[in-house]
């Protein structure tokens, strides 16, 4: 009878129900109780009555398992083990609070500006350490219907690609099935060539290494490809390719230096205020 009544009550549980109805005991484990309000922040939106029953039963079972395991651990783990665990908990708590305070201080007080010059200087000083783990290219392409009335002009301007050509191609870009003209940005070679019908690896390497203009055609579309520059795996990474990563590296270094200085000043201030003292020992 108790199980039947429990299941009937679960059918009517919803976020609205939890918020508006008085609190109600849904389960008991020893002297501890699980209340309807304990579901308020975890209950899913837009859930059916059937799923509500499953969700609540599983949630309460997890609550009970956690409590039971903890109580069994208190009985069956020796005092020394419990003491070690409590020390770990206290240490983790201190680290967590300290980390959160560090983040607050860094966010509110640290200067996060990193100059272009400092990034370039760092790159030039350490560039031998920045080896590529992939092949990258500067390239552009466009895909156009092979019957397009502007086709000859498009091909000529795409190959030449001077400023007035870029303007013209941009002005008729709605005629292209797809395109990518930003050949000053580095892109993974395989990601770039995945935009086209299958090209064998040998031909890809030939196109890339010879910085070729290449035409590829299927039954409906013409693909125009132009390779401007390339870097092989294990080459030194170009500055522009890793600039954002280097900026983050310098920011992290700046953050560590800021925290180190802040902690040193914290100790010095505590010593000056007689909050912190060293005593003579025979150790």
Q: Extract long-range pairs of 258-264: CB within 8 Å, 24+ residues apart.
A: 258/106, 258/109, 258/110, 259/102, 259/105, 259/106, 262/102, 262/105
- Choose among 184, 202, 204: nearest CA to 192: 204
Tokens of 163: 């400023």
CB under 8 Å to 266, separation ≥6 — which residues?
none
Residue 169 has, within 13 A of its CA and on its CB side, a CA count of 29
Q: Is pLDDT at 279 greater than 90 in this prediction?
A: no
Helix (H) or strand (E) holding 73: helix 49-76
pLDDT-derived band at 281 (thresholds 50, 70, 90) equals confident
The span from the CA of 166 to the CA of 246, in Å, is: 31
Q: Is pLDDT at 254 greater than 70 in this prediction?
A: yes
Q: Is residue 37 part of a domain?
A: yes
- Residue 43's pLDDT is what? 87
- Residue 219's pLDDT is what? 83
DSSP-assigned letters across all residues of 193-233: HTTSS---HHHHHHHHHTT-EEEEE-SSEEEEEEEEEEE-T
Q: Is residue 237 part of a domain?
A: no
- Give the residue, 159 or 14, on which the prediction is more confident: 159
Distances (CA, A) of 143 to 131, 135, 217, 223, 250: 33, 23, 9, 5, 40
The span from the CA of 16 to the CA of 39, in Å, is: 11
Residue range 128-175, pLDDT digits in tens: 999 999 999 999 999 999 999 999 999 999 999 999 999 999 999 999
Q: Is residue 276 part of a domain?
A: no
pLDDT-derived band at 282 (thresholds 50, 70, 90) equals low
DSSP-assigned letters across all residues of 106-126: HHHH------HHHHHHHHHHH
Examine the fold and report which residue of 231, 247, 278 is the final residue of a domain before the chain moves on. Answer: 231
Q: Is residue 113 part of a domain?
A: no
Q: Is residue 159 part of a domain?
A: yes
Residue range 62-112, pLDDT digits in tens: 999 999 999 999 999 999 999 999 999 999 999 999 999 999 999 999 998
- Give the residue, 123 or 43, on which the prediction is more confident: 123
Distances (CA, A) of 159 to 24, 212, 235: 75, 10, 27
Q: Which of 42-46, 73-77, 268-272 has the lowest mean pLDDT?
A: 42-46
Mean pLDDT of the chain: 90
Examine the fold and report which residue of 76, 106, 124 is the final residue of a domain before the chain moves on. Answer: 76
The span from the CA of 84 to the CA of 134, in Å, is: 47
The span from the CA of 122 to the CA of 249, in Å, is: 10
Q: What percent of the chain has pLDDT over 90?
A: 80
Q: Is residue 119 part of a domain?
A: no
Q: Is residue 269 part of a domain?
A: no
Number of domains in the chain: 2
- Residue 54's pLDDT is what? 93
Q: Is residue 60 part of a domain?
A: yes
Encode 172-205: b = buried (16+ Cβ within 10 Å), e = exposed.
eeebbeebebebeebeebeebbeebeebeeeebe
Q: Average pLDDT in the 22-45 region?
A: 89
Residues in the chain: 283
Examine the fold and report which residue of 39, 60, 76 is the final residue of a domain before the chain moves on. Answer: 76
CB under 8 Å to 28, separation ≥6 — which residues?
34
Domain span holding position 43: 2-76
CB under 8 Å to 52, separation ≥6 — which residues?
10, 11, 13, 14
- Share of the chain residues as helix, strand and coil, in percent rounded to the nearest 5: 60, 15, 25
Evaluate if pTM is beyond 0.75: no
- Residue 13's pLDDT is what? 46
């Amino acid at each position: 009878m108790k199980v039947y009544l429990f299941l009937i009550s679960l059918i009517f549980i919803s976020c609205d129900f939890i918020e508006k109805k008085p609190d109600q005991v849904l389960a008991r484990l020893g002297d501890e109780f699980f209340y309807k309000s304990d579901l308020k922040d975890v209950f899913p939106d837009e859930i059916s009555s059937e799923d509500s029953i499953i969700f609540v039963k599983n949630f309460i079972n997890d609550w009970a398992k956690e409590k039971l395991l903890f109580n069994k651990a208190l009985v069956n783990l020796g005092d020394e083990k419990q003491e070690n665990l409590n020390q770990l908990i206290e240490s983790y708590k201190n680290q967590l609070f300290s980390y959160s305070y560090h983040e607050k201080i860094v966010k509110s007080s640290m200067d996060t500006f990193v100059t272009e010059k400092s990034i370039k200087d760092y790159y030039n000083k350490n560039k031998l350490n920045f080896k590529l783990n992939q092949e990258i290219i500067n390239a552009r392409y466009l895909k156009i219907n092979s019957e397009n009335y502007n086709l000859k002009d498009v091909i000529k301007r795409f190959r030449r690609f001077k400023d007035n050509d870029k303007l013209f191609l941009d002005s008729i870009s709605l005629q292209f099935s797809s395109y990518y003209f930003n050949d000053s940005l580095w892109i993974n070679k395989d990601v770039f060539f995945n935009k086209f019908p299958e090209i064998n690896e040998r031909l890809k390497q030939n196109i890339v290494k010879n910085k070729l203009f290449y035409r590829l055609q299927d039954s409906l579309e013409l693909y125009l490809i132009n390779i401007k520059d390339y870097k092989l795996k294990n080459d030194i990474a170009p500055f522009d390719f890793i600039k954002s990563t280097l900026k983050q590296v310098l920011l992290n270094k700046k953050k560590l230096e800021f925290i180190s200085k802040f902690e040193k000043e914290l100790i010095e201030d505590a010593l000056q205020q007689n909050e912190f003292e060293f005593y003579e020992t025979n150790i």
